[in-house]
Structure 1
Amino acid sequence: MSAPIQIGTDQHGQAISLDIEELLATRLLVQGNSGSGKSHLLRRLLEESAGIVQQIVIDPEGDFVSLAELFRHIVVDGAAYSTQELTRLAARIREHRASVVLALDGLEVEAQMRCAALFLSALFDAPREQWYPALVVVDEAQVFAPAVAGEVSDEARRLSLAAMTNLMCRGRKRGLAGVVATQRLAKLAKNVAAEASNFLMGRTFLDIDMARAADLLGMERRQAEQIRDLGRGQFLGLGPAISRRPVSVQIGAVRTGPKSLVQKLAPPPAASPDDLHALLHAGLHLEETGVRAPEPVPVAPAIDELIGQIAPDAPPPAPQQPSVPGKSAAEVDTAIDAILREMAAEDGCTYQAPVKLYQDFTVRCRMQRLTAGQLDMAGFQRRFAIAVAGIEAPDSPEAQEILRIARVLPDDLLAPFLAIAWAAQAGHPCPDDDELAVIYGTSSPGRLRRLLDHYEKTGLIVVRTDFSGRRSVSIPELGLATEPLEA
């Protein structure tokens, strides 16, 4: 059985076909310098075979997302998913035989390698009953299977290279047919390139790449020069799915296009040099005004920490003071809230020992002739945590629901959780580590990480970090989540 698709014509105008059925068993390697038409070839292959076989595209530049417009491919933004989510997504892709484009253009190179490695490994690990045939097209394969170590970490290179090797060496038995495209054969790992039995070689200029391409095509070295003379969109093809002898192929037209198009020649603006000089330098030397350098965060003296450890949990309540005549209990409570917000707004307040803060609170209440005794030490800590977290309406149903969930926490661990939960309730990004450290009253990143781990182990939060490094936090019991925070 065969499933031929036309990919172009030869020098005589005769149609050149590629057998998809044969390709699934023998894999394909595409090589061509930038501008040779390599991506155009891949797009032609994908468009013509879209109705025949499932397609999975690893797209580091986001050029193939336009396939979704005409061919119903699902675009998966690799930067938007966590490790666990991407693994589950890949498993469902195999299960439901969906054609997808994994767009990695929102990630740095090392993150692209890790994301692609995880995704390919999850496809590879599908259960046997889901080993349906699928074309796995990897553009710019030299990024994911580099021949030599680069600027990325050894771990990222090892993971990515292992996934690509599995795809090309062992993927056939699992129904995965690798189609890898590279700008330079010399930059692609040999154990990945060597597993392909079909080749489409485009224009290249470097001697080492021309020599390797000629070897793969079974040409003599003196014939390798013709590879340098190939035109844009013209390739030399060889392999059981294409031809038993090297054949020249002019790739046919496509119906979709890349996300970004190369601009045609355009003359520079006709403005005079003086006008351009004015445009380039307008406001260049203006200094920003009204921006103050952040003040250093005060560190609590060691003595305060000792006081907090030694002092009893609940010091004797302050003596009752007569309230201001004519003030109701609600008015007194409102005034106390105002004092707490005022204290919470002061720099370095969270770095002070609770005992010292409580003493400051009672003094302020006496100055306003308020009854502070109605708040013991525990009640003060709880209401002060609410003020520090920025909850302006603690009596609202939303705030009360958050406080109900937070009852499992000790008072000294309460404020950071309230800040996170209130951000989720408002649909805002999660406070960053610096903000949470100030709210918690610590200068130690390790201590803050341990606090977040404690929240997560308690089941209060679920921290999710996507491949672009953006962190969001979910509150499972509320069914809410913060917006992603840029790293």
Structure 2
Amino acid sequence: MTVSIDMGEVMGGGASGPCGFDLEELLATRLLVQGNSGSGKSHLLRRLLEQSAAWVQQVIVDPEGDFVTLSDRFGHVVVDAAASERDLAVIAARVRAHRVSVVLNLEGLEPDRQMKAAAVFLNALFEADRDHWYPVLVVVDEAQLFAPAASGDTGEDARRVSLGAMTNLMCRGRKRGLAGVIATQRLAKLAKNVAAEASNFLMGRTFLDIDMARAADLLGMEKRQAESFRNLDRGHFVALGPAVSRRPLQVRIGSVETVGRGGGPKLTPLPQSRPEDLQDLLFQPASQGERTEAERPPVQESVPASEVLERLTRQASARDALEFAPIENDEAREKAIDAIIGELLEDPEAAFQPVAALYQDFQVRCRIARLSGRPLDLASFRQRVALARAGVSDTDVDPEIWATAEAVAASLPEEMRGVYLLIARAALQGEPCPSDQEIATAYGTRSPGRARWLLTHMEEQGFLVCANDLRGNRIVTLTDLDRQTAAPAARALL
């Protein structure tokens, strides 16, 4: 099935009628939009997004917050890029999994932070699981900010990661379902390896010779025709590409249903006031609540991911939603929580992730599972994760002795409790002491040396005693339980 989206009207050149874009071809061949400030690039992108919203998932990288108004009319979720990098990566992964259209709002961030946030989000989209490689229209406004042709005022690290993410999007994103649509004020400011991957072009009004020459070259026009880009009206573009036309066409972009928050400059009458009133207005002492831009507090690194993920969950398609009724029974709820934590920790990397990051993912999974009742707090979650990391269960030991073990563990720091109970379970079941690697994993580290230090620390506190048998095997005695781990069985002689 061919899906054609109406971008406006073909103008001049002996051709007339509507200008249709083949959406499937556009997804396969990408799009580059160029035009000076005021040429109508944002209007063009908004028209493209509105016309294709019903057909394809969309992700908009929005440095100025112009496209957040799409959420009211078309249901896009606005992602505040002030979140941490971990949050942005989690959100991006769920965006691909649930096929939700979003606007990454970078407004108010410093240039370096904008570049890093966009890079983290785009890379997470790019690295999604193969099962989630659905078609996505990825629109990047002011692309020269994220893929600059040369280093500028931003840091080299931010420029490198941002340029890498944009290169992945335009050069390797097609096989992963990512279709890049990039818009820039000047082609000369945009990295060539990013611009070169687009096969469709919409060139708007531009004045500099270098930009006109490059635009004419991309469209296959003669050099003498390059001057025509100076005469284009606002909202008029020259289009070329397999998704629109095999020869250059001048197109007037159609109207849009939504408007940006910025808008264009409009003349309004100046206020009529007497000169003395104006002096009083300007030179009166500043009020307590009035601040200059330099005095304004910096943008805080807020973490709004929980609200964003909640909206992502609500807007997930019925195909991806879990089809079961809300869990209300307390016993069933506890089992469901244990199952969610177990599923969460199945990822080998989960053992080494901070508990706060796991807790955020846990909350999302609970909302998807529609768990009723008061959510598990962070302290309780931390304790359950410690037990789950250690593989501890009280179903195969004496409940009274196990209660004593839990009481002793409660006097240890939270991150050590799971390790103590791991060793206690081995001792109560007559098993050898866990290895350094098992203890390190239960402690949330990859370092066996850290595990040995932990045992030494717990021994100094009087919770256990470590000794080695004649074969060098470690045997741990738990002083409060009066139990010790078993020695490993000797290997049979060959």
Indicate the TM-score class for this superposition, using the shorter chain for normalisation.
0.5 to 0.7
Q: Does 1:35 align with 2:38?
A: yes
Aligned-pair CA distance for 1:228? 0.6
1:64 is aligned to 2:30: no
Cα deviations across residues 14-61 of structure 1 (Å, max 9, x unaligned)?
101111100111000000111100000000000000011111110111
Letter matched to residue 51 of structure 1? A
Structure 1 141/284 Cα, relative in aligned 2: closer, same or farther at 3 Å?
same
**What is the CA deviation profile of residues 193-237 of structure 1, one whole-angstrom value per residue up to 9, with x for unaligned ones?**
000000000001111111111111111111011101100100000
Q: TM-score, normalised by structure 2?
A: 0.57
1:153 Cα offset (Å)? 0.9
Structural mapping, 1:147-162, within 5 Å: 147-162=149-164
Report how far residue 152 of structure 1 moved: 1.0
**Aligned pairs (5 A) from 1:114-129:** 114-129=116-131
In structure 1, give the amino acid aligned to 2:278. Answer: L
Whole-Å Cα distance in 2 between the matches of residues 75 and 64 of structure 1? 9
Q: 1:105 to 1:285 in 2, by over 3 A?
A: closer
Structure 1 residue 83 displacement after superposition = 1.5
Rounded to whole Å, the distance in 1 between the matches of 2:93 and 2:104 is 14
Aligned residue number for residue 166 of structure 1: 168
C-alpha separation between the residues in 2 aligned to 1:261 and 1:239? 30
Match of 2:103 among 93, 101, 104: 101
Partner of 1:8: 8
Which residue of the partner structure matches residue 256 of structure 1?
A: 258
Give the counterpart of 2:182 among 173, 180, 183.
180
CA distance in 2, matches of 1:283, 1:73: 44
Counterparts of 1:275 and 1:258, CA distance in 2: 35
Q: Deviations over 1:220-257 (max 9, x none)?
A: 11101110110010000000001000000000000001
- Structure-1 residue corresponding to 2:420: none
Kindly provide the amino acid, as one letter, of the partner of residue 131 in structure 2: E
Partner of 1:75: 78
2:191 to 178, 185, 189: 189
Spell out the pairing of 1:260-409 with structure 2 (5 A cutoff).
260-283=262-285
Q: Which residue of 2 aligns with 1:199?
A: 201
More displaced stretch, 272-281 vs 44-53: 272-281
SS at match of 1:94: helix
Partner deviation per Cα, 1:273-315 (whole Å, 9 max, x = no partner): 22212221122699xxxxxxxxxxxxxxxxxxxxxxxxxxxxx
* Cα RMSD, aligned residues only: 2.5
2:447 counterpart residue number: none
Residue aligning to 1:84: 86
Q: 3-state SS of the aligned residue for 1:107? A: coil
1:218-237 correspondence runs (5 A): 218-237=220-239
Counterpart Cα distance in 2 of 1:167 and 1:218: 25
Unaligned runs of 5+ in 2: 289-408, 414-494
How many angstroms apart in 2 are the aligned matches of 1:407 and 1:266? Answer: 70
Q: Quote the sequence identity (%).
A: 64
Deviation at 1:263, TM superposition (A): 4.2
- The residue that corresponds to 1:345 in the other structure is none
Q: Which consecutive segments of 4 or more residues in structure 1 shift more than 4 A?
A: 405-409
Which of 215, 218, 232 is the matching residue for 2:217? 215
Call closer, same or farther: CA 1:18–1:273 in 2, change over 3 Å: same
Give the secondary-structure state (helix, strand or coil) at the position aligned to 2:11.
Answer: coil
| Cα gap change, 1:178 to 1:282, in 2 (>3 Å) | same
Secondary structure at the counterpart of residue 159 of structure 1: helix
Instruction: Tell me, in whole angstroms, the C-alpha distance in 2 between the residues paired with 1:115 and 1:283.
Output: 40
Does 1:113 pair with 2:109?
Answer: no
Q: Report the CA distance between 1:107 and its aligned residue.
A: 1.1
CA distance in 2, matches of 1:283, 1:58: 41
Deviation, 1:106, is 2.7
Query: Residue 242 of structure 1 corresponds to which residue in structure 2?
Result: 244
Which residue pairs with 2:57 in the alignment? Answer: 54
Q: Kindly provide the amino acid, as one letter, of the partner of residue 48 in structure 2.
A: L
Letter in 1 for 2:2: S
Partner-residue secondary structure (3-state), 1:259: coil
Structure 1 CA distance, aligned partners of 2:61 and 2:281? Answer: 42
CA distance in 1, matches of 2:286, 2:175: 62
1:110-157 CA distance string (max 9 Å, x none): 101000001100100011111111100000000000000011111100
The one-letter amino acid paired with 1:102 is L
Distance 2:77 2:40 in 1: 24
What amino acid is aligned across from residue 219 of structure 1 in structure 2?
Answer: M
Tell which structure's C-alpha radius of gyration is larger. Answer: 1
Partner of 2:425: none
Amino acid at match of 2:147: A
Query: How far apart in 2 are the matches of 1:283 and 1:94?
Result: 53
1:259–1:284 CA distance, 2 compared to 1 (3 A): closer
Taking structure 1 as the reference length, the TM-score comes to 0.58
Superposition pairs of residues 401-420 of structure 1, within 5 angstroms: none
Q: Secondary structure at the match of 1:149?
A: coil
Q: Distance in 2 between matches of 1:173 and 1:284?
A: 58
Cα deviation for residue 85 of structure 1 reads 1.4
Distance 1:406 1:213, change over 3 A: farther
- Aligned AA (2:55): I
Provide the rounded CA distance (Å) in 2 between the counterparts of 1:46 and 1:407.
Answer: 57
Tell me the residue number matched to 1:313.
Answer: none
Question: Given residue 195 of structure 1, which amino acid in structure 2 is its aligned partner?
Answer: E
